[in-house]
């Protein structure tokens, strides 16, 4: 890290704001990162960086303007803040535009085991060897695997500081380490190629031992190989199993619809659904920022408010939307500690560890339960109408016959309505690895419209 | 002008040019082949109208330098937000850690810089005129249709100054303004609600709004949402599809453009790898990437490696002619390089598209519609995704219609198109006689880096493609 005097800089900024009779929140982010990519046994990319950004939200009379800088060069700060103060005159008044009070953002910073302070000790040669192993492990699976893509390592350590004229002064650090590989398989006639990827990620480097990392190449390669020869299938209605990663993509659509700002804009299929039972009892969705060492964890949100563990959906009933202070204020609802941390914009809405409560068993059990249908392993979730929840998603995966994975399928779509889809969840497995902040176990849906030929 | 750009960076602490050039030469004494410093200064401002007031104004100032050392085709990269000699030296040291066998780097001719957007950037002007534009859009949306429930409008403007200095002797700079305007509307009719977005812009000044008024943009968004309110569920299965002129260019960008970026082909991971000279499309298809069009969103006077932008005929009458190159891949394929782009100094450059389109053919749109017995007319898309390796893609239609017996019938909703890039080009049956560039609203993402692009297409008919809807039959 550059070791900026965050508190000193923030105090200077807050004093300039006060001179202009403004309230202010200062967000500073320091981030170090290292990225290494290996292809064909050689380092193809080595990236290092040290970055600092500072965002200032100025508040005056129910109005708020924003100004952001990169780096630690603060020489033009004073005139630039003045320019931003001048823009306040152009804004409309809005009661919900305000700073959180001390009672709202709360005291203390919860210790969540997110920061590995061994970032500086990373040994590049050892990491390069691990990456070479990953690639070799992938290529060894079959001679149809080709050395096209890279094995990659990514590490970062970030420190976040929040200060405000309301007395907010909180900081926390978190680190991140990941190894990944994209395997490419090519058919014998060289006319078809398929790619698949696998990765392992942790907040602490020591949690990525050689036995875990060593398998990444093999896993990715086996999956890419299985996809070769994929074909379209006939259009029709089918039961569908969504694997853990595609189930997470569907769960993200529920998260998006709970975003208080979209609810305010009425750009969500969950508008007017608060407190209603939408899904069967087995659907419980948690938002928990306090899980120790997890990828989605944070002690306080982008406005400095301490995080809150909550069920967003409990036994099928929508319990809450997710808010920053603006959307909560406009909709006259309680704060939920979900403000995202932004530097050059007003806070949006984020989540902690947002996951579907697991059921039992593995994906294999779900396939046995389904007997005949479709397993979706890859899903393009760009085709949804946010307002109605109607969707049509491109996907690929496998036919399932007698509970077993059969021929690969591609270039098809599944279509329907997202509320109907979660209503039709029959079984949920217990195979979530919580690798992303939004994650899910795999689940079985009774039926969906599939379009192929 | 070059002196002005240098002076501006000197004031921020950048060492003198000659000193920088000496510093850049240092890592090449051991084993490096090429070194480069890319310096950037960005000023941007955004305005948002929401909930019937001007709700947000934000200003951002970013300065920094990215330093790159190449050995063979391998990249060492480091960046700093501090332009001092010490910081730049530290980055050079980190970047030079890249190991690998040395190859000779071909000396490259950067070409003559264009002058494609010589305008005064609006970002330095006071807010008044821009706020007026947002209010006009809002008033227009509410007044044209009683079903309008919510209106949100935004205006983004920025000015980016870039300076590239490399060990091949290049010292190149550019000043790049950008303006984006957009309107989102939500309409309510009974219990049904639909939303739509319309936008535009480019490397233009506020004069652009004289030919495309905020009222026109708002009305178009309202129209799209109205169409959706009356739309029927989309059909499912393979059928004839007409791609409307303009916005449908996104399909070309995603499904053909990306797989023709040279990095995927250099690594052999593209569906088009090793296929130059092969027939990959119908005879009528000629596809071009062109960065030197005036004022377009994807246009560049120089790319982000200091080379004058240019025009590439990627596919000519169905034959694959070339890929799009950055310096590394151009060196590998022995081709000229002018598509090296990056989101900012924090990122390594890679081959990227600029403005990508298909050249016009011979059919009128009327003839094309008349030829379809049963199919879908896709007028606009909200976006799409492509798997570069397999070539599989999917696109979401926002405004689309059924076509029955040569006539456009009712609007449809919830439809996607799913197909395979290399296959789809062979299914082009008719190409319309008017090329339309979709104006100023597309941003392309690749490996986490966003850059502004232009897309375009004449009306195109595909013999068959899978439409993913809910109505079987």
Alpha helices in B12-49 (DSSP H): 17-25
Whether residue A53 is found in the same domain as residue A158: yes
**Domain end call among A226, A257, A289:** A226
Nearest C-alpha in A relative to B46:
A345
Q: How far is A111 from chain B (nearest CA, A)?
A: 30
State residue B94's pLDDT score.
87
| pLDDT exceeds 50 at position A451 | yes
Whether residue A105 is found in the same domain as residue A154: yes
Q: What is the pLDDT of residues B357-392, one digit of tens each?
A: 999 999 999 999 999 999 999 998 877 788 888 888
Retrieve residue B425's tokens.
Answer: 């080009």
Nearest C-alpha in A relative to B79:
A49
Whether residue A235 is found in the same domain as residue A180: no
Q: Is the reported ipTM for this assembly greater than 0.90?
A: no
Pick from A158, A161, A159: which is nearest to A25 by CA? Answer: A161
Alpha helices in B305-410 (DSSP H): 327-333, 365-370
Residue A62 lies in a domain: yes
Which CATH number does the domain housing residue A217 bear?
3.30.2290.10
Q: Does A265 touch chain B (CB under 8 A)?
A: yes
- Domain layout of chain B by residue ranges: 2-229, 232-468
Whether residue A213 is found in the same domain as residue A241: no
Nearest C-alpha in A relative to B394:
A394
Residue A95 lies in a domain: yes
State residue B186's pLDDT score.
93
Enumerate residues 7 to 36 of chain B having a beta carbon within 8 A of any beta carbon in chain A: 12-13
Q: What is the pLDDT of residues A112-144, one digit of tens each?
A: 999 998 888 999 999 999 999 999 999 999 999
State residue A96's pLDDT score.
94
Residue A255 lies in a domain: no
Per the listing, tokens 């090793």 go with: B274
Retrieve residue B189's tokens.
Answer: 């009719």
- The mean per-residue pLDDT over the stretch B311-321 comes to 97
The domain total for chain A is: 2
- Please state, in angstroms and rounded to a whole number, the distance separating the CA atoms of residues A45 and B98: 7
Whether residue A150 is found in the same domain as residue A241: no
Retrieve residue B56's tokens.
Answer: 């947000």
Contact B8, B162 (CB under 8 A): no
Number of H helices, E strands in chain B: 11, 22
- The mean per-residue pLDDT over the stretch B397-401 comes to 91
Phi and psi of B400, rounded to 5°? Answer: -145, 160
From the CB of residue A302, how many other CB atoms can be counted at a distance below 10 Å? 25
- Please state, in angstroms and rounded to a whole number, the distance separating the CA atoms of residues B160 and A373: 53
Enumerate residues 411 to 440 of chain B having a beta carbon within 8 A of any beta carbon in chain A: 413-416, 418-420
Q: What is the pLDDT of residues A277-317, one digit of tens each?
A: 999 999 999 999 999 999 999 999 999 999 999 999 999 99
- What is the pTM (predicted TM-score) of this model? 0.91
Pick from A436, A439, A437, A443: which is nearest to A422 by CA? Answer: A443
Per the listing, tokens 């934000």 go with: B58
Residues 6+ apart with CB under 8 A from A404: A367
Residue A289 lies in a domain: no
- DSSP letters, A288-334, are ETT-TT-TT--SB-TTSPBP--EEEEETTEE---B--HHHHHHHT--
- Please state, in angstroms and rounded to a whole number, the distance separating the CA atoms of residues B121 and B431: 37
Of B128, B237, B387, the CB nearest to A453: B237
Q: What is the pLDDT of residues B136-188, one digit of tens each?
A: 999 999 999 999 999 999 999 999 999 999 998 899 999 999 999 999 999 99
Whether residue A243 is found in the same domain as residue A132: no
Which structural domain range is residue A432 located in? 229-249+358-451
CA atoms within 13 A on the CB side of A350: 21
Q: Does A272 touch chain B (CB under 8 A)?
A: no
Of A43, A390, A451, the CB nearest to B237: A451
Whether residue A167 is found in the same domain as residue A234: no
Higher pLDDT, B100 or A289: A289
Q: Is A39 exposed, middle or buried (0-12, 13-18, 19+ CB in 10 A)?
A: buried
Of B61, B95, B269, the CB nearest to A195: B269
Task: Grade residue B473 by pLDDT with cuts at 50, 70 and 90.
Answer: very low
Query: Which DSSP symbol is given to A385?
Result: -
Q: Mutation target for B interface from A64, A262, A387, A420: give the one with most B CBs within 10 A.
A: A387
- Please state, in angstroms and rounded to a whole number, the distance separating the CA atoms of residues A346 and A97: 10
State residue B107's pLDDT score.
54
Q: Would you call A451 and B469 a contact, using CB atoms and an 8 Å cutoff?
A: yes
From the CB of residue B125, how many other CB atoms can be counted at a distance below 10 Å? 14
Whether residue A187 is found in the same domain as residue A240: no
- The mean per-residue pLDDT over the stretch B388-406 comes to 91
Contact A65, A182 (CB under 8 A): no
Whether residue A10 is found in the same domain as residue A152: yes
State residue A379's pLDDT score.
93
Q: Mutation target for B interface from A35, A47, A227, A378: give the one with most B CBs within 10 A.
A: A47
State residue B320's pLDDT score.
97
- Please state, in angstroms and rounded to a whole number, the distance separating the CA atoms of residues A388 and B189: 13
Q: What distance lies between CA B79 and its chain's CA centroid?
A: 24
Q: Does B125 touch chain A (CB under 8 A)?
A: no
Rounded mean pLDDT of chain B?
A: 92
Q: Does A453 touch chain B (CB under 8 A)?
A: yes
Produce one character per residue of B352-380: b if its CB has 16 or more CB atoms within 10 Å, e if not: bbbbbbbbbbebebeebbebbeebbbbbb
Q: Would you call B390 and A195 a contact, using CB atoms and an 8 Å cutoff?
A: yes
State residue B73's pLDDT score.
80
Phi and psi of B204, rounded to 5°? Answer: -135, 165
Q: Does B158 touch chain A (CB under 8 A)?
A: no
Q: How far is B347 from chain A (nearest CA, A)?
A: 9
Retrieve residue B319's tokens.
Answer: 């034959």
Q: Does B445 touch chain A (CB under 8 A)?
A: no
Contacts of A266 in chain B (CB under 8 A): 149-150, 186, 188, 193
State residue A385's pLDDT score.
85
- The mean per-residue pLDDT over the stretch A182-209 comes to 94
Helix (H, G, I), strand (E, B) or coil at B365: helix
Whether residue A56 is found in the same domain as residue A195: yes
Per the listing, tokens 């990941």 go with: A178
Residue A218 lies in a domain: yes
Contact A352, A312 (CB under 8 A): no
**Domain end call among A192, A226, A260:** A226
Four-residue CA torsion sign, B365, B367, B369, B375? negative
- Please state, in angstroms and rounded to a whole number, the distance separating the CA atoms of residues A43 and B101: 11
State residue B110's pLDDT score.
79
- Please state, in angstroms and rounded to a whole number, the distance separating the CA atoms of residues A410 and A379: 10
Contacts of B467 in chain A (CB under 8 A): 451
Of A45, A410, A451, the CB nearest to B77: A45
Residue A271 lies in a domain: no
Retrieve residue A49's tokens.
Answer: 């960086």
Q: Would you call A90 and B78 a contact, using CB atoms and an 8 Å cutoff?
A: no
- Please state, in angstroms and rounded to a whole number, the distance separating the CA atoms of residues B218 and B209: 13
Task: Grade residue B268 by pLDDT with cuts at 50, 70 and 90.
Answer: confident
- Please state, in angstroms and rounded to a whole number, the distance separating the CA atoms of residues B119 and B303: 19
| pLDDT exceeds 80 at position B234 | yes
Q: Does B52 touch chain A (CB under 8 A)?
A: yes
Q: How far is A374 from chain B (nearest CA, A)?
A: 16
CATH code assigned to B2-229: 3.30.2290.10
From the CB of residue A93, how many other CB atoms can be counted at a distance below 10 Å? 9
- Please state, in angstroms and rounded to a whole number, the distance separating the CA atoms of residues A17 and A24: 6
Largest CA distance in chain A: 74
Retrieve residue A333's tokens.
Answer: 């609802």
Enumerate residues 339 to 368 of chain B having a beta carbon within 8 A of any beta carbon in chain A: 346, 348
Residue A379 lies in a domain: yes
Per the listing, tokens 């005036």 go with: B294
Nearest C-alpha in B relative to A45:
B75
Higher pLDDT, A152 or A383: A152
Contact A334, A328 (CB under 8 A): yes
State residue A435's pLDDT score.
96
- The mean per-residue pLDDT over the stretch A324-352 comes to 97
- DSSP letters, B322-347, are --B--HHHHHHHT-----EE-SSTTS
Q: Is A226 exposed, middle or buried (0-12, 13-18, 19+ CB in 10 A)?
A: middle
Per the listing, tokens 């998260």 go with: A255
Phi and psi of A9, rounded to 5°? Answer: -65, -45
State residue B106's pLDDT score.
63
Retrieve residue A136's tokens.
Answer: 């070799």
Query: Which DSSP symbol is given to B359?
Result: P
Pick from A277, A365, A305: which is nearest to A104 by CA? Answer: A305
- Please state, in angstroms and rounded to a whole number, the distance separating the CA atoms of residues A321 and A254: 10
Q: Does A228 touch chain B (CB under 8 A)?
A: no
State residue B384's pLDDT score.
79
Q: How far is B240 from chain A (nearest CA, A)?
A: 12
Nearest C-alpha in A relative to B60:
A68
- Please state, in angstroms and rounded to a whole number, the distance separating the CA atoms of residues B236 and A392: 10
Residue A185 lies in a domain: yes
Whether residue A115 is found in the same domain as residue A238: no
Pick from B360, B417, B61: which is nearest to B242 by CA? Answer: B417
State residue A319's pLDDT score.
98
Q: What is the pLDDT of residues B41-85, one digit of tens each?
A: 999 999 999 989 999 999 999 999 999 998 888 899 999 998 999
């Amino acid at each position: 890290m550059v070791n900026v005097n965050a508190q000193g800089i923030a105090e200077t900024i807050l004093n300039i704001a006060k001179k202009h009779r403004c309230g202010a929140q200062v967000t500073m982010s320091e981030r170090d990162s290292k990225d290494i990519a290996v292809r064909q046994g050689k380092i193809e990319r080595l990236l290092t960086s040290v970055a600092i950004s500072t965002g200032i939200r100025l508040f005056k009379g129910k109005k708020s303007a924003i100004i952001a800088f990169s780096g630690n060069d603060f020489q033009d700060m004073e005139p630039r803040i003045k320019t931003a103060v001048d823009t306040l005159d152009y804004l409309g008044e809005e009661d919900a535009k305000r700073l959180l009070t001390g009672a709202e953002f709360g005291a203390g910073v919860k210790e969540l085991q997110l920061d590995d302070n061994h970032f500086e000790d990373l040994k590049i040669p050892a990491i390069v060897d691990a990456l070479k192993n990953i690639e070799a492990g992938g290529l060894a699976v079959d001679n149809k695997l080709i050395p096209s893509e890279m094995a990659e390592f990514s590490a970062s350590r970030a420190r976040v500081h929040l200060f405000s004229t309301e007395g907010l002064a909180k900081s926390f650090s978190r680190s991140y380490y990941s190894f990944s590989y994209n395997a490419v398989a090519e058919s014998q006639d060289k006319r078809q190629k398929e790619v698949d990827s696998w990765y392992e990620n942790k907040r602490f480097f020591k949690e990525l031992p050689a036995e875990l990392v060593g398998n990444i190449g093999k896993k990715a390669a086996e999956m890419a190989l299985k996809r070769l020869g994929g074909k379209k299938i006939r259009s029709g209605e089918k039961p569908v199993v969504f694997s853990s990663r595609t189930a997470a993509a569907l769960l993200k659509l529920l998260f998006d619809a709970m975003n208080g700002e979209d609810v305010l804009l009425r750009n969500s299929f969950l508008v007017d659904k608060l407190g209603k039972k939408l899904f069967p009892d087995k659907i419980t969705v948690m938002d928990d920022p306090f899980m120790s060492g997890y990828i989605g964890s944070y002690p306080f949100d982008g406005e400095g408010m301490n995080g809150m563990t909550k069920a967003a959906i409990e036994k099928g009933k929508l319990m809450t939307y997710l808010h920053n202070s603006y959307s909560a204020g406009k909709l006259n609802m309680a704060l939920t500690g979900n403000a995202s941390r932004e530097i050059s914009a007003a806070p949006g809405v984020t989540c902690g560890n947002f996951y579907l409560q697991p059921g039992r068993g593995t994906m294999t059990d779900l396939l046995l339960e389904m007997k005949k249908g479709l397993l979706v392993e890859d899903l393009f979730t760009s085709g949804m109408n946010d307002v109605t929840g109607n969707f049509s998603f491109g996907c690929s995966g496998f036919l399932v016959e007698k509970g077993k994975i059969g021929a690969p399928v591609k270039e098809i779509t599944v279509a329907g309505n997202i509320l109907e889809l979660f209503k039709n969840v029959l079984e949920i497995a217990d195979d979530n690895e919580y690798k992303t902040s939004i994650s899910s176990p795999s689940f079985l849906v009774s039926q969906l419209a599939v379009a192929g030929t | 002008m070059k002196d002005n750009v240098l002076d501006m960076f000197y004031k921020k602490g950048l060492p003198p040019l000659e000193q920088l050039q000496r510093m850049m030469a240092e890592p090449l004494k051991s084993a490096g082949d090429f070194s480069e410093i890319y310096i950037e200064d960005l000023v941007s401002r955004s305005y948002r109208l929401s909930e019937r007031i001007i709700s947000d104004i934000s200003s951002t100032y970013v300065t920094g330098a990215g330093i790159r050392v190449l050995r063979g085709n391998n990249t060492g990269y480091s960046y700093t937000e501090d332009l001092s000699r010490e910081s730049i030296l530290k980055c050079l040291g980190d970047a030079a850690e890249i190991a690998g066998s040395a190859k000779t780097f071909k000396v490259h001719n950067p070409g003559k810089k264009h002058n494609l957007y010589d305008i005064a950037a609006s970002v330095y002007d006071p807010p008044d005129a821009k706020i007026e534009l947002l209010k006009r859009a809002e008033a227009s949306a509410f007044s044209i249709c009683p079903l309008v429930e919510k209106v949100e409008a935004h205006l983004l403007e920025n000015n980016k100054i870039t300076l590239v200095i490399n060990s091949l002797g290049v010292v190149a700079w550019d000043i790049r303004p950008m303006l984006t305007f957009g309107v989102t509307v939500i309409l309510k009719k009974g219990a049904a609600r639909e939303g739509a977005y319309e936008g535009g812009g480019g490397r233009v000044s506020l004069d652009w709004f004289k030919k495309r008024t905020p009222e026109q943009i708002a009305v178009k968004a309202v129209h799209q949402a109205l169409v959706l309110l009356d739309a029927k569920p989309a059909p499912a299965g393979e059928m004839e599809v007409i791609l409307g002129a303009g916005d449908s260019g996104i399909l070309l960008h995603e499904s053909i453009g990306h797989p023709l970026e040279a990095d995927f082909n250099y690594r052999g991971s593209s569906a088009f790898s090793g296929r130059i000279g092969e027939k990959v499309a119908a005879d009528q298809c000629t596809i071009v990437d062109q960065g030197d069009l005036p004022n377009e969103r994807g246009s560049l006077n120089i790319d982000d490696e200091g080379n004058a932008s240019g025009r590439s005929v990627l596919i000519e009458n169905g034959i694959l002619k070339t890929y799009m190159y950055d310096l590394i891949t151009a060196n590998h394929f022995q081709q000229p390089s002018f598509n090296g782009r990056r989101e900012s100094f924090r990122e390594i450059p890679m081959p990227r598209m600029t403005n990508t389109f298909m050249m016009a053919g011979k059919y009128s749109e009327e003839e094309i519609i008349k030829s379809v017995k049963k199919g879908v007319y896709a007028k606009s898309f909200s976006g799409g995704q492509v798997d570069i390796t397999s070539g599989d893609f999917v696109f979401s239609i926002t405004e689309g219609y059924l076509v029955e017996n040569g006539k456009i019938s009712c609007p449809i909703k919830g439809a996607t198109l799913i197909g395979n890039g290399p296959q789809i080009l062979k299914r082009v049956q008719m190409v319309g006689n008017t090329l339309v560039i979709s104006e100023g609203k597309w941003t392309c993402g690749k490996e986490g880096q966003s850059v502004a692009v232009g897309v375009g297409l004449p009306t195109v008919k595909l013999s068959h493609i899978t439409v993913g809807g809910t109505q079987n039959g």
